[in-house]
Amino acid sequence: MVTAGAFEFGQTIWNRRLEIGWSRPELAEKLNTRAGLTTCDGALIYKWETGRHAPKAWLPHILHVLKIPADAAALLRPPTARTAPAHTCENPPIGLPEAVFDRPQADTLLAMLDASGPVEPDTVRQLAHAWLISEPPQILHQRAGRRVGDSLITEVRTRTNTLRRMDDYLGGLDLIAQVTGELRATVHLLREASYTEQTGRRLLELAAEQAQLVGWVAADAGLNQQAQRAYTVGVHAAEAAGHRGLGGLNLGGLGYLLASTGSPENGVVLTRSAAVGAAPYAGARERAMIWDRAAWAACVAGREREAAAALGRVEDAHDAHQPDAGEEPDWLYWVCRAESLVMQGRVWTELHRPLRAVPILQAVIGTYDHEHARETALYRSWLAAALLDAGEIEEASAETIRVIDLSAGVTSDRVAKRITMLAGRLTPHTHVPAAREVLDRVREQR
């Protein structure tokens, strides 16, 4: 099991090895030479670096060969001998799968879902680092319980795809119980059913897709801690399935959420890790989506140049997309250049660059189907904010009224917060009749 101390010491090994410029096999050769043995290999070093095994007899040789200070070994002492606070049951450690995914690992997924606390800030960088350097585990064949075959996998996937499209029309509070129930049902199959390794990987891929959907829906419902937990489950499940693209989808989703809820620097770490780690395995539209999120996290952190560079990568990814290149995963159905243009507009709005933001948002919003009320309301809220930055109070007020009209019957915490923000920004302009109309409408809704 990965422990905080073993993971931290593993990071020390990893950092020193890269500073020196050795591969894992090269380090293993150095350690074998010093110890007079032949039993160290790259796989063992990988387990040390990811915190899955703590070096014991090898410790003095590691310290000597890598020239690591002896006091770094204090990281490997039991928690009672260290000053770092122990994790509580509300905040269990967030790790990646062990070398074998089996029933106890499925229990870990359920424990992550049931935890009540948020993902602690000090685990964010650990999660990103572990994901970037880890390798997928083997999956233990489950030989007891209900037999899972292709027909059940197809049925679960169809339900998941349907729920994903329902999210286009329903707010988070309307959908959260259903999507969470689907994820729990899939994890219970992993825990209790009988399946081959291939089927197990397909179930884990489904769990990762469902976890991403739960994270998105929970965030829309204002359940941010539940969303954080769902995304970490998705990273864990995708890693177990050996699906780097799904891992990046969930890691980037977690980073996007953290950036949007007060932790922009952690958001930058996760979204950039997702973009870099998933890029070699991702198709063009996957890369576009992940870099969109990296651009958002960078702009919220105030890094304009970094945000602009990420937007450039998004454009490159869309230019590289070939619609006839082959079948793509269903969870990419909504990713298109128009969605990325909206993100461009949002980024420039967040950076208070209305001359860039307003033309982009006005052009793309006009192409949207108002049946997608929540998304259109959110996008128009960004246009209203950009118009306020430009000093166009009447136009901003008119857009805010449209947002309020679109939000009627939509149970979205995100939309509600955007309306509250816009009302707050319009409050100093009560001398403008259009602004007073907005404030009257907001008071009527409360």
Residue 359 lies in a domain: no
- Looking at the structure, tell me whether residues 380 and 271 fall in a common domain: no
- Expressed in percent and rounded to 5, the helix, strand and coil fractions of the chain are 70, 0, 25
Mark whether 70 and 109 lie in a shared domain.
no
Tokens standing for residue 326: 């082959």
Boundary residue ending a domain (238, 254, 282): 282
What single DSSP character describes residue 147? B
Q: Are 114 and 160 contained in the same domain?
A: yes
Assess whether 114 and 209 both reside in one domain. Answer: yes
For the chain, count helices (H), then strands (E). 20, 2
In a domain, 195, yes or no: yes
CA–CA gap between residue 274 and residue 222 (Å, rounded): 24
Task: Encode the chain (446 residues) as per-residue pLDDT tens digits.
Answer: 444 466 677 778 877 887 888 888 889 899 989 888 888 888 788 778 766 677 877 888 898 899 888 777 676 655 443 333 333 344 444 556 666 677 777 777 787 777 766 666 566 666 776 677 666 556 655 666 667 778 888 888 888 888 888 887 777 788 888 899 889 988 888 888 888 888 888 999 999 999 999 999 999 888 988 999 999 999 989 888 888 889 899 999 999 999 999 889 899 989 998 888 887 788 889 899 999 999 999 999 999 999 999 999 999 999 998 877 666 788 888 888 999 999 999 999 999 999 999 999 999 988 876 667 888 899 999 999 999 999 999 999 999 999 999 888 777 888 899 999 999 999 999 999 999 999 999 888 76
Are both 61 and 151 inside the same structural domain? no
For residues 248 and 282, the answer to whether their CB atoms sit within 8 Å is: yes
Does residue 128 form part of some domain? yes
| Same-domain check for residues 109 and 32 | no
Q: Cβ–Cβ contacts within 10 Å for residue 322, how many?
A: 8
Is 142 in a helix, a strand, or coil?
strand
Q: Are residues 146 and 53 in the same domain?
A: no
Asked if 126 and 38 sit in the same domain, the reply is no
Statement to judge: residues 63 and 109 lie in one domain: no
For the chain, what is the domain count?
A: 3
Interacting residues of 117 by C-beta distance below 8 A, sequence separation 6+: 88, 90, 91, 225
User: Which string of b and e fits 104-143 if b means at least 16 CB within 10 Å?
Assistant: ebbebbbebbebeebbbeebbebbbbbbeebebbebeebe
Assess contact for 247 and 131: CB atoms under 8 A.
yes
Last residue of a domain, one of 282, 317, 332: 282
pTM above 0.85, yes or no: no
Residues 144 and 216 in one domain: yes
Q: 111 and 214: one domain? A: yes
| 407 in Cβ contact with 377 (< 8 Å) | yes
Residue 218 shares a structural domain with residue 262 = yes
Burial group, residue 281, by CB count within 10 angstroms (0-12, 13-18, 19+): middle
Range of the structural domain that residue 208 is part of: 103-282
Element (H, E) at 101: strand 100-101
Q: Report d(CA 209, CA 183) in Å as an integer.
A: 9
CB atoms within 10 A of CB 229: 27
Assigned domain for 210 exists: yes
